[in-house]
Amino acid sequence: MDFDGFFTRLNPLILGVLRSPLPEFLERAENTIRRVPGMDRQFGISFDRRIGLTDAQAETLRREIAAVEIALDPG
């Protein structure tokens, strides 16, 4: 797990918050929106699967949400 942001270890988990300027941040946000019906409205946008994220929607997500990753600590 590679973070350019905050992370901490809580046995047996690693928790991390991705910084919004990272390309991975928007990729994970869009994947979540595609996977979970209604999540776009929770995030304050109206997502069109045919178009993907617009620049304005990406900016809203960068401002309003946090991308968090939780993984098992291999150690």
Largest CA distance in the chain: 42
pLDDT at 60: 96
pLDDT at 30: 96
pLDDT in tens, 42-71: 999 999 999 999 999 999 999 999 888 888
pLDDT at 1: 47
Of 45 and 21, more confident: 45
